[in-house]
Structure 1
Amino acid sequence: MIKRTLIATILFFTINTVATAKPFVFTAIPDQDETALKERFDKVAVYLSKALDHEVKFVPVKSYAASVTAFRNDDVQLAWFGGLSGVRARLLSEGSQAIAQGAEDPTFKSYFIAHTGVVSKDNDSKSEKMPKSILNKTFTFGSKGSTSGRLMPEYHLRKQFNKAPEKIFEKVGFSGNHSRTIALVQSGAYQVGAVNYKVWERELSEGKIDTDKVSVVWETPDYPDYQWSIRGDADKVYGEGFTAKVTQALIDIKDKSILDAFPRSGFIPASNADFQPVLDVAKEIGLIDQ
């Protein structure tokens, strides 16, 4: 009896030690070119490994949908999601939480951009309505699962013109990410597109945008967007209080090279309730079932 009890005790501690030693893995939606993403998140992995005193790994994914699937299947335990991908992932993973967001993310926005000369700025870019001259042009969203590159732009298109995008434009495409949207509109392959304003401003500052060929013609009202989400079983797997520790580590990021790579001025607390407006819009236009 004593021998069996001892073996059971050893097995218990061995199993729990193995579980606790499991690497903490995170991913991110592929919203920019792969090189920029790897540089950004490799730095985050190094930082979190030190802050959590635990092995942390970043694994890239090929699509927004793949990031949601990886989170649902426990291939990753933490993810940098957009508003829509985060809502979808948390609906599929019981108990999961949005824990942190960029200081700028509660007031995010999308830019409508156009190839020079094909759309007239008959409204100021910050006016309530987008230019009517975008009608019957060729148009590209970003990824099908993007909040800033698809969900919110489509919502405002439907709100203003009371039609689906396919009825508004001559042709509708999906570029896959914001960097490619800018490149496609700048080249003239598409006349108009919708893009994450942070990606636009970053690429503009890096000299990647030729403003003689492409410009902003309208910007959306503010909405909540990107956030870090963690699985609901993180404390069970990695130890009591682990979720709170991860949250604090993200909020404590002060390294300018990390923050500039997002780009964000810092991270602040977030909750699932912060993204209710995104869920409401996704249901309204049929991207999430009621």
Structure 2
Amino acid sequence: MSFIRKLMLSSLIVLIPFAASAQTFVFTAIPDEDESKLVERFRGIADYLQQELDVEVKYIPVKSYAAAISAFRNNQVQLAWFGGLSGVQARELVPGSQAIAQGVEDQAFFNYFIAHKSTGLERSETLPEEVRGKTFTFGSKGSTSGRLIPEYHIRTIFNEAPEDVFSRVGFSGNHTRTLRLVEAGTYEVGAINYAVWEKELEDGNINTDDVKVIWKTPAYPNYQWTIRGDIDERYGDGFMDKVREALLAMDDPALLESFPRSGFIPTSNENYEPIRTVAEQIGILD
């Protein structure tokens, strides 16, 4: 019996390190575009990270911003590509979690307000009074660029809630749908993040006879990679730094273009305090 017990213990000593090293590293992203586009983009990122980190890496899609935050909170994913607001919310729920990298363009992100041709609206230096009484769509309720920033500017410019400015207010779910709904005239006005607009425009996917940009917002910090604070405990000392270094070193033009970003740079939680402040001001974040 003593020999068997010793044999079992020695087997455990061998197996425990192996099990730890064999853990899959899982990440997700907020669903700010059509799922097919996201799956294509992040499968490439998973392959890249797996090669750089020397662990199995898996991307899992989610159906909503809330689901992305929940997966992060419940440790179903250890890394996530969040927007400014969803990152703030997620880090609140998982102590020690860190924003570790952002796109070069995310230092000074901005929104476009767009309008259907039937409105007759043209581009101007501010959101024009003529949007009053029109129908309007945000993106996702939990989106920084799809809801938080547009609502902040609507309230600031008109000193009223969106529901009091527009005749009907909706939530499309993501930026691509916002574009399609305004392009089709289902909603007369909408707010979209500039990166999606520019990418769709570059790919020839926008009928500029039907929809146009009418206002560009001031800049703000947005998307970032956020990693759980307990990551080193699970994957070994220095793993957080290793993930950060891999993201910052990403230079494959095809991978970067899929975001689209020109590269990734270091960031920190403190850079997103302006997002927290705005969210608290308009009642999205307690």
TM band (smaller chain):
over 0.9
Instruction: Write out per-residue CA displacement over residues 190-221 of structure 1, whole angstroms, 9 at most, x where no aligned residue.
Output: 00000010000000111110110000000110
Look up the match of 1:49.
50
Look up the match of 2:81.
80
Inter-CA distance 39–161: structure 2 relative to 1 (3 Å threshold): same
Q: Which whole-Å CA distance do the structure 2 matches of 1:15 and 1:150 have between them?
A: 46
The alignment partner of 2:33 has SS state of coil
Which runs of structure 2 are paired with 1:192-231 in the superposition (5 Å)? 192-231=189-228
Task: Quote how far apart the aligned CAs of 1:280 are.
Answer: 0.6
Select the residue among 132, 154, 157 that pairs with 1:157.
Answer: 154
Could you tell me whether the CA contact under 8 Å between 1:119 and 1:134 is conserved in 2?
A: no
The alignment partner of 1:104 has SS state of helix
Q: Does 1:279 align with 2:276?
A: yes
Q: Does 1:28 align with 2:29?
A: yes
Q: Which whole-Å CA distance do the structure 2 matches of 1:152 and 1:13 have between them?
A: 53
Task: Quote how far apart the aligned CAs of 1:12 are.
Answer: 4.9
Q: Which whole-Å CA distance do the structure 1 matches of 2:22 and 2:92 have between them?
A: 27
Could you tell me whether the CA contact under 8 Å between 2:118 and 2:188 is conserved in 1?
A: no
The alignment partner of 2:119 has SS state of coil
Query: Mind listing any 5+ residue stretches in structure 1 that lack a counterpart?
Result: none
Over 4 Å off, 4+ runs: 1-10
Which runs of structure 2 are paired with 1:1-290 in the superposition (5 Å)? 8=9, 10-12=11-13, 14-121=15-122, 124=124, 127=125, 129-289=126-286
Could you tell me which amino acid in structure 1 is paired with residue 110 of structure 2? K
Could you tell me which amino acid in structure 2 is paired with residue 143 of structure 1? S
Q: % of aligned pairs identical?
A: 58
Q: Which whole-Å CA distance do the structure 2 matches of 1:152 and 1:78 have between them?
A: 24
Query: Mind listing any 5+ residue stretches in structure 2 that lack a counterpart?
Result: none
CA-based RMSD? 1.5
Q: Which whole-Å CA distance do the structure 2 matches of 1:5 and 1:225 have between them?
A: 55
The alignment partner of 1:281 has SS state of helix
Could you tell me which amino acid in structure 2 is paired with residue 99 of structure 1? I
Task: Quote how far apart the aligned CAs of 1:34 are.
Answer: 1.3
Instruction: Write out per-residue CA displacement over residues 16-54 of structure 1, whole angstroms, 9 at most, x where no aligned residue.
Output: 431332100000011111111111100000000001111
Task: Quote how far apart the aligned CAs of 1:14 are.
Answer: 2.9
Task: Quote how far apart the aligned CAs of 1:117 are.
Answer: 3.5
Could you tell me which amino acid in structure 2 is paired with residue 65 of structure 1? A
Could you tell me whether the CA contact under 8 Å between 2:116 and 2:211 is conserved in 1?
A: yes
TM-score (norm 2): 0.96
Q: Which whole-Å CA distance do the structure 1 matches of 2:180 and 2:166 have between them?
A: 19
Could you tell me whether the CA contact under 8 Å between 1:108 and 1:223 is conserved in 2?
A: yes
Could you tell me whether the CA contact under 8 Å between 1:111 and 1:197 is conserved in 2?
A: yes
Could you tell me whether the CA contact under 8 Å between 1:114 and 1:215 is conserved in 2?
A: yes
Could you tell me whether the CA contact under 8 Å between 1:143 and 1:175 is conserved in 2?
A: yes
Instruction: Write out per-residue CA displacement over residues 116-154 of structure 1, whole angstroms, 9 at most, x where no aligned residue.
Output: 140523x62xx2x21111111000000001100100000
